[in-house]
A and B are shown apart, each in its own frame.
Chain A
Amino acid sequence: MSATEGASDGWRAEGPGSLNRPRQTLENASDDRRSDSPEGLHRPHAGVGPPLLEVKNIEVVYNDVILVLRGLSLAVPQGKIVALLGANGAGKSTTLKAISGLLKTEEGEVTRGEITFDGERIDGIDPHLIVRRGIFQVMEGRRIIADMTCLENLRLGAFIRRDAEVRRDIEMVYEYFPRLKERTGLAGYLSGGEQQMLAIGRALMARPKLILMDEPSMGLSPLLVKEVFGIIRRLNEELGITILLVEQNARMALSVASHAYVMEQGKVVLDGSAAALAENEDVKEFYLGGHGTERKSFRNLKSYKRRKRWL
């Protein structure tokens, strides 16, 4: 796997003359931690050609004054899972909303830089049109429609489609999430884990090329986290869906991703192959609960204690 990872360095977008303090890029760790995932078949051309999604040096402002992203760049190649890690308030959700266009619904705006998907610029486009281009965001906190049934939620996921295969895809979702099939009541009464599954299932119904997943592990028991991540990996391998994954649970995220970015205060401060990041001392200390020697670059440790305000 590490050979492919090495090649993938080719697609990484470096923000031109960025405001960033020098960004670190890690070389590959020599061990092959991801040998468990099958090679290649659904991941054609890793490192060749332009990535499916490319975010170039964007700046995001809320309410015309609050600067949240300051020159953020990242790239997601076709067929891969890419993780985006960072402390609370670093701007991870903002990054996803900038890509999906949902920023517009929160008085936010991309004021600089550009976002390209499938070779076309998508920044500034209305969110409902971006969905039609094949990007689906599974928002933080599931956001299923509580006063509808499971089935109605799934059918809504297919809102943008006109083909006749919706029924078949519902069956497919039930294959991935068998327990959803048994739930006939209102989605609001589902357990947290079931709601997360429904949120992911609803995303599948849109047949997206890229899913933006915002903290799928939030509030789930360790066992369920494992289950959900197992399914995320299967979706990527079996359906070939590209995934950009925002997570607090860095260990889990790094175990399914091939590449990862660490962001802090609106910028990427570190990126590299998932394997390399998992071995990195700073990442270990701050995200994996390891014991680094001294606290160096991750300044906003206190932000862990901050309550989440934008659920």
Chain B
Amino acid sequence: MDSALLLQLTLNGLIVGALYGVVAMSFVLIYKASQVVNFAQGEFLLVGAWVCWWLLTDWQLPFWLGFLVTLAFMTAFGMILQVVVLRPLIGEPVISVIMATIGLGIFFQALMKWIFGVFAKPFPPIFHAEQVSVLGLQVQSVYLLSLGISLLIMLGFAWFFTLSKHGLAMRATAFDQQVAQSLGISVPRVFAMSWAISAMVSALAGVVVGVVNGVSSALSFYGIKVFPAVILGGLDSVVGAVLGGLIVGLLENWAQYLDANWLNWGNMYGVAPFYALILILLIKPYGLFGTKNIERV
């Protein structure tokens, strides 16, 4: 037993899990507001990270500026995608919409490879201190930064959905579109806004991962990791998405620990979350936090 390793892996799990949580939240945002299952969520991370990388390297922008420009660009990107691609599909069968998002995913995946090449590229160094000591563990400062940013985003979501007018409008739209309209809410605008915020937040996560691991098409795997996370959490629950993300992050790392010490099956890291997913869905088919409808009229 190597408890230091276990602790280290747990910490890794939390850090990566928080990022999964962030991406899962932005996935749920789109699903809740506009009932679209977005298979191109991972590509939001990919596009965002490449755009930021390009601004920092080719344009030599300082990090904070490149970062802000990226977020602004991705906000517009998400909104335009919704208006141009998804809006005409409103009212079409679910399968058409799913095919459209899968198509978008493939398209942007290929486009990024075509523009930026197939090899991973590192971000220019941003922080000086490389290692920090936390509870006796050596942690890279970028990891801590990533955790901090994830927490900030989660707080931002909490604020948005409970205190801001537009967040409330989004929840109202998710609950009942006709009622939302009767309150003066423009449903198409809410859809566009949900895509804009989702793309922006995912891109933020993409840049964080890019800074830590370098930018490559591997980023779009986050879009796939999101599925066990959101299904664990119950598809339409923002809180569930965060917890689902954390669970997936921890499971991956603990599975790796098990594997390294005893099982030696290899590749448990990637597969474990899906085993857990199957198990949990057997027990709770609506996920851990799926909507309980309030039956009272």
Contacts and interface: CB of A to CB of B under 8 A. Distances in A.
* A and B: interacting chains: yes
Interface of A: 100, 102, 105-106, 126-128, 131-132, 136-137, 139, 141, 143, 145-148, 152, 155-157, 159-160, 186, 188-190, 192, 202, 206, 219
Interface string B151-179: 00000000000100100110110011111
B182 interface: yes
A159 B173 CA distance: 12
Which bucket holds chain B's interface residue count?
20 to 34
A146 B176 CA distance: 10
Contacts of B165: 155, 159
Nearest to B174: A147
Contacts of B176: 143, 145
Contacts of B182: 100, 102, 127, 131, 136-137, 139, 143
A146 B181 contact: no
Interface of B: 162, 165, 168-169, 171-172, 175-179, 181-187, 291, 294, 296-297
Contact of A156 (B177, B178, B183, B294): B183
Nearest to B189: A128
Given A159-B165, A159-B168, A159-B183, 20 more contacts: A100-B182, A102-B182, A105-B178, A128-B187, A136-B182, A145-B171, A145-B175, A145-B179, A146-B296, A147-B171, A147-B294, A152-B162, A155-B165, A156-B169, A156-B172, A159-B185, A160-B183, A160-B184, A188-B296, A219-B297
A188 B169 contact: no
Contacts of B178: 102, 105-106, 139, 143
Contacts of B171: 145, 147-148
B182 to A, nearest CB: 5
A290 to B, nearest CB: 31
* B162, B169, B175: most-surrounded residue (chain A CB, <10 A): B175
Contacts of B181: 102, 105, 126-128
